[in-house]
């Protein structure tokens, strides 16, 4: 039984995907699969069903997972004591909501890595609901997420407010685009949105349904840059975080549609499992770095948009 095989299995189990585990381990997917197969052969059991999406652990896999985690923790503790680190040498598994990945975490992560070189930050992205569930299940140590202002934080996690964000409706600045003459006119809009599972999309859909308007989705894509490019090409409207819009080089070709019934203020939260007291200093540094990062107004593109933003 090889240590690398154990590490690969834990990575797959926690990412619930061979491809995501491969990216986290800087390996190819076949290499990760071979390591999984070697561990299964050594133990004489099937650990997971890799044909399903997401990857699903068997009953034996659930039992083996907890023991493999203890093995990894023991190895990290040995490294920590031998290197004299102030905090344990271990992985810190952090999930990040899709909308926050590009504009929020780069500088704070680099700062934490400089301060705590023995802590390896393993980042993964996902929808807020999924990330919360993974923190509660302890397959993630923590996450940075977005929730509507009026939504209460669920039990089972320690939560810290970091800042605010707002979702904005964006349409093209020029061209033959639908004119806003009340909520009913939004039935003519083709929306360019994240796929199902996105909390922002769900907020928009509920608001439209409450107004008796059917939401027509023209394009689904995870990439906000692509969404804004399609909006600029007059393919429809989108719903994006204000920070994403502010840094977009396409901003001069876009127009914010201010619609009272579609106002979505959000709170940015850092949530963590209560089972990580050994990393209090790391969390404190990360929270401070994130708070400082979020306190800086979003940097706008160098191109200034012409005209007003009224619909």
Q: Alpha-carbon distance 285 to 90, whole Å?
A: 16
State the pLDDT at residue 213: 92
Whether the predicted pLDDT of 83 surpasses 60: no
Q: Give the mean pLDDT of 190-202.
A: 89
Residue corresponding to tokens 């907020």: 203
- Residue 304's pLDDT band (boundaries 50, 70, 90)? very low
pLDDT at 306: 34
Which residues make beta-bridge pairs with 165?
Answer: 266
Q: 116-147: per-residue pLDDT in tens? A: 877 877 888 888 888 998 898 888 889 999 88
pLDDT tens digits along 5-37: 898 899 888 888 888 888 777 678 888 899 999
Average pLDDT, the chain: 82
In 16-58, alpha helices (H):
18-25, 29-43
Q: Are 250 and 233 in contact (CB under 8 A)?
A: no
Band (92; pLDDT cuts 50, 70, 90): confident
The upper half-sphere exposure of residue 203, i.e. CA atoms within 13 Å in the direction of its Cβ, equals: 23
Q: 83: closest CA among 115, 118, 116, 119?
A: 118
* Residue 272 · residue 135 · CB < 8 Å: yes
CA 260/CA 159 separation, integer angstroms: 30
Q: Quick check: 223 pLDDT over 90?
A: no
Going 177 to 182 to 183 to 184, the CA torsion angle's sign is: negative
Per DSSP bridges, beta strands 190-193 and 142-148 are unpaired
Separation of alpha carbons 282 and 289, rounded Å: 11
- How many Cβ atoms from other residues are within 10 Å of residue 2's Cβ? 11
What local confidence, expressed as pLDDT, does residue 44 receive?
92
pLDDT tens across 148-168, in order? 888 888 777 889 888 888 899
Calpha distance 123→119 (Å, rounded): 13
pLDDT the model gives residue 77 = 67
What is the predicted pLDDT for the residue at 177? 60
pLDDT above 70 covers what percent of the chain? 86
Which strand (E) or helix (H) includes residue 264? strand 264-272
Residue 148 · residue 265 · CB < 8 Å: yes
Sketch out the chain's domains with CATH numbers: 1-84 (1.10.10.10), 86-311 (3.40.190.290)
**What is the distance between the alpha carbons of residues 221 and 223, in angstroms, rounded to a whole number?**
6
Percent of the chain with pLDDT over 90: 25
d(CA 18, CA 225): 26
pLDDT of 278 reads 73
Q: Look up residue 297 and give its DSSP letter.
A: P
Whether the model clears a pTM of 0.85, i.e. scores above it, the answer is no
Contact indicator for 43, 64 with CB cutoff of 8 Å: yes
Reported as half-sphere exposure (CB side, CA atoms, 13 A), residue 235 has a value of 15
């Amino acid at each position: 039984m090889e240590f690398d095989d154990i590490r690969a299995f834990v990575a797959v189990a926690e990412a619930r995907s061979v491809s995501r585990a491969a990216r986290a381990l800087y390996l190819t997917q076949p290499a990760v699969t071979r390591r999984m197969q070697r561990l299964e052969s050594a133990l004489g059991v099937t650990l997971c069903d890799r044909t399903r999406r997401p990857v699903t652990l068997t009953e034996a896999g659930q039992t083996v997972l907890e023991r493999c985690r203890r093995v990894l923790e023991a190895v990290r503790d040995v490294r920590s004591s031998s290197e004299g680190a102030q905090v344990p040498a271990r992985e810190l598994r952090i999930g990040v909501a899709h909308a926050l990945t590009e504009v929020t975490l780069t500088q704070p992560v680099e700062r934490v890595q400089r301060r705590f070189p023995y802590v390896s930050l393993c980042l993964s992205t996902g929808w807020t609901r999924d990330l919360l569930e993974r923190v509660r299940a302890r397959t993630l140590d923590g996450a940075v997420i977005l929730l509507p202002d009026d939504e209460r934080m669920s039990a089972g996690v320690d939560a810290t407010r970091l800042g605010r964000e707002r979702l904005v409706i964006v349409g093209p600045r020029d061209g033959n685009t639908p004119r806003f003459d009340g909520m009913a006119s939004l039935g003519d809009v083709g929306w360019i949105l994240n796929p199902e599972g996105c909390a922002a999309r769900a907020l928009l859909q509920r608001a439209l349904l409450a107004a008796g308007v059917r939401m027509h989705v023209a394009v689904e894509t995870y990439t906000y840059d692509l969404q804004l490019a399609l909006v600029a090409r007059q393919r429809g409207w989108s719903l994006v975080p204000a920070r994403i819009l502010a840094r977009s080089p396409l901003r001069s070709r876009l127009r914010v549609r201010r619609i009272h019934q579609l106002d979505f203020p959000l709170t940015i939260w850092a949530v963590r499992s209560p089972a990580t007291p050994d990393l209090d200093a790391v969390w404190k540094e990360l929270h401070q770095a994130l708070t400082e990062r979020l306190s800086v107004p979003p940097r706008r593109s160098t191109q200034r948009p012409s005209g007003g933003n009224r619909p």
